[in-house]
């Protein structure tokens, strides 16, 4: 016949078929975060993290800027996926849930855009004023 209960089939309730995609994407971003964080730690411990000028020169390289941008994308995506599940599971009021999800979306997009802007500004050679 089909899956689920008879009442569920009549009402059209059941799986939304989006859980597998969400689960897979969260695992892929977790693996990407792990790999990119290992790269970042190795890069910083290998002598790139000397002075401010050394860091700016290091980040100006595409071999540093691109993986760092990928780390930002992966980290903010992973954060949004995890916090979305947390909000959907533990926030019970529909209005509060909607407001929380909207706030989360604005925060993650804003943080990601800010991170990518900062990486691009340094990588493309714009002057950086520290402490001003």
Quick: pLDDT tens for 38-50: 999 998 888 766 7
Confidence of residue 117 (pLDDT cuts 50, 70, 90): very high
36 pLDDT more than 90 = yes
Write down the number of H helices and E strands in the chain. Answer: 5, 0
Mean pLDDT for 3-15 is 59
72 pLDDT more than 70 = yes
Q: Name the class of domain 18-123.
A: mainly alpha
What pLDDT is stored for residue 54 in this prediction? 84
pTM score of the predicted model: 0.80
């Amino acid at each position: 016949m089909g899956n689920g209960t008879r009442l569920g089939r009549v009402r059209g309730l059941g799986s939304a078929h989006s859980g597998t995609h969400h689960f897979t994407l969260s695992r892929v971003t977790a693996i990407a975060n792990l790999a990119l964080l290992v790269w970042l730690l190795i890069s910083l411990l290998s002598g790139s993290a000397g002075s401010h000028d050394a860091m700016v020169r290091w980040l100006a390289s595409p071999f540093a800027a691109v993986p760092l941008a990928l780390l930002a994308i992966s980290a903010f995506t992973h954060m949004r996926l995890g916090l979305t599940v947390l909000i959907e599971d533990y926030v019970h009021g529909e209005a509060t849930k909607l407001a929380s999800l909207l706030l989360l979306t604005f925060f993650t997009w804003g943080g990601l855009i800010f991170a990518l802007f900062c990486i691009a500004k340094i990588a493309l050679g714009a002057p950086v004023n520290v402490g001003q």
